[in-house]
Structure 1
Amino acid sequence: MSLQTEKKDLALSAKDIPQEAFDWYDEYAHGDIDRRTFLSRLGTLSITGLTLSVVAGALTPNYALADQVSFNDSDITASYVEFDSPNGHGKARGYLVVPKGVDANNKAATVLVAHENRGLNPYIEDVARRLAKAGFIALAPDALFPLGGYPGNDDEGRAMQRTLDGSKITGDFMDAATLLKNHDFSTGKVGMVGFCFGGYLTNALVANMPDTINAGAPYYGTPAKSNIDKIKAPLQIHFAELDTRVNATWPDYEKALKANKVDYTAYVYPKANHGFHNDSTARYQENNAELAWERTVSFFKKTLNS
């Protein structure tokens, strides 16, 4: 069976999964309930033709499905780099992807990629490769580097990330943004895209690094906690219609953005759940994900290449 066929089967099974299951998965993925409670709740559902294991499996990431751009694609060069992080954990590590032909004499704009609440998983690495294919230098840091890095398992990754100081994680990403701005191959323009927790980080960095971050594209992320009045960068904000938890934070955030005359555009994707861009689970919605990504790449080309 091809990966494309698996993706189609995953999308078809999603149509048969009740919304409650997606909502419970969101609670589980964000630490509000444990795995036992999540599976127990799934067991109360009556889903014709689908077993508990099938539903749980469809909601759990299969990262082989997220490999849209191969790590050995001839148009990019991907590597892991360590860098100093005085504002974070002292040392940090990230996945750096550079487009073919970009060097000190032929520079490119850069994009910082922020992962969810479980470390640098293969889906986020693929997002970095997609950006490099579009012509940007991309760097995706791993918040779990101080603990040895993403463990290859989302449950363990979430547990590990919860033990870290959030302000130091933010500091690691801030120092990554500074690295991109000053990179020998960089034009000095820095964009940022993030998903879930990474969406929050995107909102936080545009507020706290107004002279470094030139454009921000948070996906289903909660607002910055401070310095919204300092934001200079344009924002392109992506929401899922069914993501009630994050969407509840939007009215106050939008009010603050308007009050401070921030240049922003917000999109709400119909019938989409939190995580709809992640093509490794049944929450993925191909049409909405592709539209959101097309908008994001166009946004960065407009704001970072001018």
Structure 2
Amino acid sequence: MPKHPKLPEQAFTLYDQFAHGRINRRAFLSGLGKLSVGALTTSIMLDALMPNYALAEQVSFNDPDIIASYQEFSSPDGYGTGKGYRVEPSKLDKPAPLVLVIHENRGLNPYIKDVARRFAKQGFIAFAPDGLYPVGGYPGNDEQGKKMQASMDKDKLANDFFAAAKSLKGDGKGNGKLGVIGFCYGGGMVNKIVTEAPDLADAAVPFYGAAPDLAKVKNIQAPLMIQMGELDEWVNAMWPDYEKALKTANKDYQAFVYPGARHGFHNDSTARYDQVNAELAWQRTLAFFNQHLA
């Protein structure tokens, strides 16, 4: 795993504001400059905060235990055609459980592809759609990917993810049981799927995702495992009302708030990564999906 210098908490706040489009790059860099002290320069903080995917890879694309490919799917209510990264175990002796992996607000970057490979290593068939496919696909740069995704029609993009879930649920090598997992924007999309297309998911794990339309919580059919970081003020502010709606509708859910963890704590490509909490959240996720998708 990559080694990062100890950064002031305000640096992480600035990065989250920048990553979610609440401040521009100039304001982000200006804020980091005000935090520079001694050897902790703006450049060092920027290098630590921005993703370094090469250092974070856990499962190689040519790992002999998996087979990876790119596949298109039909999305008549979205952009027409979508495309994603499909990974299956190299040895399948019976139908496998299925997991849809939904990316953050910047397209199908290497971290999300690695998460899909991690699932395949554990016996799942995983599919990670690239929401940016209709506008050229993930550009290899998160900042540009963020701009591209922000320019897209939100409803069409959501329908592309719904279509990806439907396509994966019918995969010929799958057992028909679909789990959905997403991170940041993807976590919010998981919440949207379970409330607006509730027949698609058999289990759902949103990581630090925006709460759904609370009036639609009554539609949820899938059991939920909700993962949050203690220091994630933006997402956590939504949680009390979301939890109240879940309780009122008598839904099957469990929620974990990881102490000292920030928004993005599972993403091992930046300094926000919290190894202890990320590994615990991952093991809980695997157990949850194995329980509900077997």
- Shift in Å, 1:50: 1.3
Give, in whole Å, the separation in 1 of the partners of 2:33 and 2:170.
Answer: 52
| Contact 1:17 1:47 (8 Å CA) reproduced | no
Candidates 254, 272, 276, aligned match of 1:283: 272
Task: State the percentage of identical aligned residues.
Answer: 56
Candidates 39, 43, 53, aligned match of 1:63: 53
Listed one character per residue, the Cα deviations across residues 90-141 of structure 1 (whole Å, up to 9, x for unaligned) are 0000000011222xx7211100000000000000000000001111100000
Matched, 1:299 2:288: yes
Moved more, 203-212 or 67-76: 203-212
| Contact 2:36 2:42 (8 Å CA) reproduced | no
Give, in whole Å, the separation in 2 of the partners of 1:182 and 1:272.
Answer: 36
Counterpart position of 1:246: 235
| Contact 1:206 1:231 (8 Å CA) reproduced | yes
- Shift in Å, 1:47: 3.1
Unaligned ranges ≥5, structure 1: none
| Contact 1:66 1:122 (8 Å CA) reproduced | no
- Shift in Å, 1:272: 0.9
Q: TM-score, normalised by structure 1?
A: 0.94
Q: What RMSD over aligned residues (CA atoms) do the two structures have, in Å?
A: 1.0
Unaligned ranges ≥5, structure 2: none
**What amino acid sits opposite 1:256 in the alignment?**
A
1:1-306 equivalence runs, <5 A: 4=1, 7=2, 9-10=3-4, 13=5, 16-102=6-92, 106-225=94-213, 226-305=215-294
SS of the equivalent of 2:37 reads coil
| Contact 1:239 1:267 (8 Å CA) reproduced | yes
Give, in whole Å, the separation in 2 of the partners of 1:120 and 1:280.
Answer: 14
| Contact 1:76 1:99 (8 Å CA) reproduced | yes
Give, in whole Å, the separation in 2 of the partners of 1:279 and 1:288.
Answer: 11
- Shift in Å, 1:48: 3.9
**What amino acid sits opposite 1:177 in the alignment?**
A
Give, in whole Å, the separation in 2 of the partners of 1:247 and 1:31.
Answer: 18
**Which ranges of 4 or more aligned residues in structure 1 deviate by more than 6 Å?**
none
- Shift in Å, 1:80: 0.5
